[in-house]
């Protein structure tokens, strides 16, 4: 159904089925270029990842669970928005349109309101122009970011307290997992506003899915961070090697008593050196928007944001005045 705002000529219309295959091919190309190439540093791997991502959310046989709409404004400017309803949010998975961004945003908010969503989530590749223009309208807060460090460009310094990385033992892995499951559950609870039991189950399941064989899970490298002078185990690093050129840090963790002394910086520096030694060219990671310490650390080390989720509350429609 067409939907337009009073006084605003931008409209959302059904996307023509005949154009779906071409849109999918273009979406694979956008993801390859703007999402996966910066994170995988290899064209074949980036293409495979982009295909997999699009096949999952926009299968060749047709959309289910997401919505693709055509954007049309009075100048004849054309484009599309790709949306997904998730719990109480309306996600903008991607968009491409020459419509004025303030009008497009107002239209998306009206669409969200009509679907009883309480927030708009812009799930954006930072290099994509339309969602960048939407983000620039303001009112968004950062929910999470996925960042990449180009190890060829990053400066390799060994300043600061020396740390050593060594493979976790069964005991250090068990201790790490207990603490990590607990900390991640806290993040889930505060981000998704769910009960503690639900957050804990969600956290445990995510760890089990990612590490089905514990510290021996294929492709995963679990390392203790050891403060070299005292020989104390002060934290943990969890890397996944993604051949042929990338690695992803699932976790960088310092025990609370050891934070704020330069050891986190030293640990990420040591991880970058370990990656270089393995022939890795790009190190990626994800961080919650609220994690100011980690974001400041990664920014200062030269990580750049590749994709991010931004949240903007959707104000309820003002009540319509009834007859007196």
Ligand X SMILES: CC(C)(COP(=O)(O)OP(=O)(O)OC[C@H]1O[C@@H](n2cnc3c(N)ncnc32)[C@H](O)[C@@H]1OP(=O)(O)O)[C@@H](O)C(=O)NCCC(=O)NCCS
Rg value, the chain, Cα: 22
Answer for the pair 312, 120: CB distance below 8 angstroms, yes or no.
yes
Q: Which of residues 111-170 bind ligand X (CB under 6 A)?
A: none
Q: How many CB atoms lie within 10 A of CB 19?
A: 13
Using the minimum distance from each CB to ligand X, give the nearer residue, 121 or 287. Answer: 287
Nearest of 262, 263, 264 to residue 252 by alpha carbon? 264
Using the minimum distance from each CB to ligand X, give the nearer residue, 21 or 296. Answer: 296
E-only strand ranges, 87-231: 89-97, 119-125, 141-150, 163-167, 220-227
Tell me if the bond preceding 296 is cis, omega within 30° of 0.
no
Applying CB under 6 A, does 248 fall inside the site for ligand X?
A: no
- Kindly tell me the sign of the dihedral angle through the C-alpha atoms of 69, 71, 76, 78: negative
Answer for the pair 297, 253: CB distance below 8 angstroms, yes or no.
no
258 secondary structure, DSSP code: G
Binds ligand X by CB under 6 A, chosen from 297, 302, 304, 311 = 297
Q: How far is the CB of 235 from ligand X (least distance, A)?
A: 6
Q: How far is the CB of 103 from ligand X (least distance, A)?
A: 36
Binds ligand X by CB under 6 A, chosen from 294, 302, 304, 311 = 294
Applying CB under 6 A, does 262 fall inside the site for ligand X?
A: yes
Q: How far is the CB of 240 from ligand X (least distance, A)?
A: 14
Applying CB under 6 A, does 287 fall inside the site for ligand X?
A: yes
303 secondary structure, DSSP code: -
Applying CB under 6 A, does 38 fall inside the site for ligand X?
A: no
Residue closest to ligand X (Cβ) = 264
Binds ligand X by CB under 6 A, chosen from 59, 197, 260, 279 = 260
Q: How far is the CB of 310 from ligand X (least distance, A)?
A: 18
Applying CB under 6 A, does 296 fall inside the site for ligand X?
A: yes
């Amino acid at each position: 159904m067409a939907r337009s705002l009073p006084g605003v000529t931008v409209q959302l219309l059904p996307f023509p089925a005949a154009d779906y295959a071409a849109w999918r091919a273009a979406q694979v190309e956008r993801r390859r270029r703007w999402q996966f190439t910066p994170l995988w540093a290899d064209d074949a791997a980036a293409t495979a990842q982009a295909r997999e991502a699009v096949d999952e959310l926009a299968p060749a046989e047709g959309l289910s669970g997401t919505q693709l709409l055509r954007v049309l404004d009075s100048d004849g400017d054309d484009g599309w928005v790709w949306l997904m309803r998730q719990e109480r949010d309306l996600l903008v998975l991607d968009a491409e349109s020459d419509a004025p961004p303030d009008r497009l945003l107002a239209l998306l908010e009206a669409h969200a309101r009509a679907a009883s969503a309480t927030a708009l989530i812009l799930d954006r590749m930072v290099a994509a122009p339309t969602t960048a223009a939407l983000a620039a309208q303001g009112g968004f807060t950062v929910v999470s970011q996925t960042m990449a460090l180009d190890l060829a460009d990053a400066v390799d310094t060994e300043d600061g307290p020396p740390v050593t990385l060594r493979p976790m033992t069964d005991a250090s892995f068990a201790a790490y997992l207990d603490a990590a499951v607990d900390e991640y559950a806290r993040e889930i609870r505060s981000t998704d506003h769910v009960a503690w039991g639900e957050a804990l189950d969600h956290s445990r399941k995510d760890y089990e899915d990612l590490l089905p064989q514990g510290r021996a899970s294929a492709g995963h490298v679990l390392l203790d961070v050891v403060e070299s002078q005292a020989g104390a185990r002060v934290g943990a690093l969890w890397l996944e090697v993604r051949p042929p050129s990338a690695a992803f840090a699932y976790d960088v963790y310092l025990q609370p008593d050891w934070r704020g002394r330069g050891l986190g910086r030293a640990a990420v520096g040591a991880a970058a050196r370990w990656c270089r030694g393995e022939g890795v060219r790009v190190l990626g990671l994800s961080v919650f928007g609220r994690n100011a310490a980690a974001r400041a650390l990664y920014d200062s080390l030269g990580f750049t944001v590749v994709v991010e989720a931004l949240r903007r509350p959707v104000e309820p429609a003002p009540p319509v005045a009834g007859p007196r």
